[in-house]
Amino acid sequence: MEFELLKTDEHTKARAGKITTSHGVIETPIFMPVGTVGSVKGVHQRELKDDINADIILGNTYHLYLRPQTPILEKAGGLHKFINWDRNILTDSGGYQVYSLAANRKIKEEGVKFKSHIDGSFHFFSPENVMEIERSIGADIMMAFDECTPYPCEYGYAKRSMHLTHRWLDRCIAHLEKVPPKYGYHQSLFPIVQGSVYKDLRTQSAEYIASKNADGNAIGGLSVGEPVEQMYEMTELVCDILPKDKPRYLMGVGTPINILENIALGVDMMDCVMPTRNARNGMLFTAKGIINIKNKKWEDDFSPIDPDGHTYVDTYYTKAYLRHLFAANEFLGKQIASIHNLGFYLWLVREARRQIIAGTFLQWKTKMVANMSNRL
């Protein structure tokens, strides 16, 4: 993987760059739609490409390992072929899913024993077998196996967990050398900074991660319930330590406002279920604010869903029609809303990039942040 830093903003820490992998170019800053089980919920691969223009999507090791399971993915020739997606894929390692399982997992030095949410069967993840699974999936970017600490998290636990994540990272790196790629192209390993909301731990973790000289670096353990100010403080501190010439990925963030604020702090890549999950509940993000399409006020509003929107659904359908689809609980409503929201998120990061390059990012961001918190 190559990363070219094209511009650093003079008024903020925002960056515009370009990642090149064997599955194409990713212009940064980028938002990555989440396709947990090999499907961005409700959205066709064709729509992701032609309408939303996503350069990269996410898959999840935990979910894909449980279903369809690695032998099927290998038989298919990897996840790209299985789902017919020839652009980039990043796989999360399972570190976050395992954290979400709470009562149904046990963390030890060796790895994590967990109970499947599908059939209750027991499984074990270690840095070694997660690397093998990520090889079988064939993602362009593989995340290291880590522990995502909850919030709040007591200092002693955060410290022990951070050191465990670091030891697991070393095991990931050592094991990858023994397992070559299965499909003939390079796969990058991104290590993950942890350390909860503690500045000394975040500093130590960022320095440790930076010393590994990976193709790119990630920030984990944020957006888990901490106040946003604390998230921004941690992001900024970590970005200031991570190498400038490598992409920085903030995991699991966030709202459109969080996206712009974190870009301003030096983040290049983000992902979140929010645009698709909230779409399925009738929440639409726009440049002018948030629309709850289930609201009665849209019942007879025959204006386009979003006259300034960037996907065909925005002007093809009306608000009244979309509201009706939600009222009738039709699949199509959730699909339209998902395309709209992803189209908006991808437009937002592309526009951010354009503004960074033009030198007008800060003014633009200030205006966007004010507008996007409106309730329409």
**Which parts of this chain interact with ligand GUN (CB under 6 A)?**
92-93, 95-96, 143, 146, 148, 192, 220-221, 251-252
> In the complex with ligand GUN, which residue's Cβ is closer, 63 or 310?
63
146 is in an annotated binding site: yes
Q: Identify whether 271 is a catalytic site residue.
A: yes
Q: State the catalytic residue, choosing from 9, 215, 268, 271.
A: 271
For 349, half-sphere exposure in the C-beta direction (CA atoms, 13 angstrom radius) is: 32
Q: Identify whether 50 is a catalytic site residue.
A: no
For the purposes of burial, counting CB atoms within 10 Å of the CB of 157, is it exposed (0-12), middle (13-18) or buried (19 or more)?
middle
For 182, half-sphere exposure in the C-beta direction (CA atoms, 13 angstrom radius) is: 20
> In the complex with ligand GUN, which residue's Cβ is closer, 150 or 304?
150
For 154, half-sphere exposure in the C-beta direction (CA atoms, 13 angstrom radius) is: 3
Give DSSP secondary structure letters for 331-352. Answer: HHHHHHHHHHHHHHHHHHHHHH
> In the complex with ligand GUN, which residue's Cβ is closer, 255 or 335?
255
How wide is the angle at C-alpha 247 spanned by C-alphas 199 and 179, nearest 5°? 100
> In the complex with ligand GUN, which residue's Cβ is closer, 172 or 293?
172
Output the six-digit token pair for 144.
């290291």
What's the min distance (Å) between Cβ of 98 and ligand GUN? 9
225 is in an annotated binding site: no
> How far apart (Å, rounded) are the C-alpha atoms in residues 344 and 285?
7
Q: State the catalytic residue, choosing from 92, 140, 215, 314.
A: 92
What is the number of the residue whose Cβ is closest to ligand GUN? Answer: 220
> How far apart (Å, rounded) are the C-alpha atoms in residues 48 and 32?
11
> In the complex with ligand GUN, which residue's Cβ is closer, 28 or 93?
93
Contact status, residue 373 vs residue 350, Cβ threshold 8 Å: no
What's the min distance (Å) between Cβ of 320 and ligand GUN? 37
Contact status, residue 212 vs residue 167, Cβ threshold 8 Å: no
Provide the 3-class DSSP secondary structure of residue 327: helix
Could you say which DSSP state residue 34 is in?
B
94 is in an annotated binding site: yes
> In the complex with ligand GUN, which residue's Cβ is closer, 16 or 231?
231
Could you say which DSSP state residue 360 is in?
-
220 is in an annotated binding site: no
92 is in an annotated binding site: yes
Contact status, residue 322 vs residue 30, Cβ threshold 8 Å: no
Secondary structure element (H or E) that encloses residue 48, with its range: helix 45-50
What's the min distance (Å) between Cβ of 51 and ligand GUN? 26
Contact status, residue 208 vs residue 234, Cβ threshold 8 Å: no
95 is in an annotated binding site: yes
Closest CA to 78 of 134, 124, 20: 134
Contact status, residue 188 vs residue 149, Cβ threshold 8 Å: no
What's the min distance (Å) between Cβ of 143 and ligand GUN? 5
96 is in an annotated binding site: yes
What's the min distance (Å) between Cβ of 304 and ligand GUN? 34
What's the min distance (Å) between Cβ of 288 and ligand GUN? 29
> How far apart (Å, rounded) are the C-alpha atoms in residues 309 and 284?
11
> In the complex with ligand GUN, which residue's Cβ is closer, 60 or 286?
60
In the sheet that holds 105-107, the strands lie side by side as 105-107, 112-115, 122-125
What's the min distance (Å) between Cβ of 374 and ligand GUN? 28
45 is in an annotated binding site: no
Bind-site residues for substrate: 92-96, 146, 194, 221
Active site residues: 92, 271
